């Protein structure tokens, strides 16, 4: 069974962190974690669903593509408030990836190819998406 850890740092505002094993069943932990943190935010329904879908996709990508579904590797989900924005990051322990190498799934040559739709979806739903360089794995930072 996946375990969760709720921690916060001394930074202001403090991020809330969920650490998951790289198992598909860990994805079911995302919605309750986000709901607990965001239930008092008075989010409009569209914003809530954008967050839920984008973050679930990012965690799914981290588990399957980043960590290759290796339960010995972890995925870390972090949520923080920055003014009116909600900043959410997902980090894996995989080999990393080059977001510029992802093909646009809307291009005719890519319509039937696998891959790229999740990243495209995340970018469409978030206010901004960044992929900062890390020493281990991949990190996606989404701002809503």
**pLDDT grade for 40, boundaries at 50, 70 and 90:** low
pLDDT of residue 102: 74
Long-range contacts of 121-124 (CB under 8 A, 24+ apart): 121/53, 121/54, 121/57, 122/54, 122/57, 122/58
pTM for this model (two decimals)? 0.81
Share of the chain above pLDDT 70, in %: 81
Asked whether residue 105 carries a pLDDT value surpassing 80, the answer given is no
pLDDT of residue 89: 98
Asked whether residue 43 carries a pLDDT value surpassing 90, the answer given is no
Architecture per CATH, domain 16-143, reads as 2-Layer Sandwich (3.30)
What average pLDDT is seen over the chain? 85
């Amino acid at each position: 069974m996946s375990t969760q850890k709720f921690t916060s740092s001394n930074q202001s505002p403090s991020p809330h962190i969920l650490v998951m094993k790289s198992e598909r069943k860990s994805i079911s932990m995302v919605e309750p974690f986000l709901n607990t943190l965001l239930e008092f935010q008075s989010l409009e329904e569209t914003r809530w669903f954008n967050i839920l879908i984008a973050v679930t996709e990012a965690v799914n990508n981290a588990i399957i593509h980043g960590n290759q579904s290796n339960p010995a590797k972890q995925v870390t989900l972090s949520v923080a408030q920055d003014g009116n924005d909600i900043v959410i990051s997902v980090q894996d322990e995989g080999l990393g990836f080059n977001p510029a190498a992802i093909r646009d799934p809307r291009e005719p040559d890519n319509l039937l190819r696998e891959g790229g739709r999740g990243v495209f979806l995340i970018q469409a739903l978030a206010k901004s998406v960044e992929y900062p360089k890390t020493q281990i794995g991949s990190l996606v930072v989404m701002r809503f």
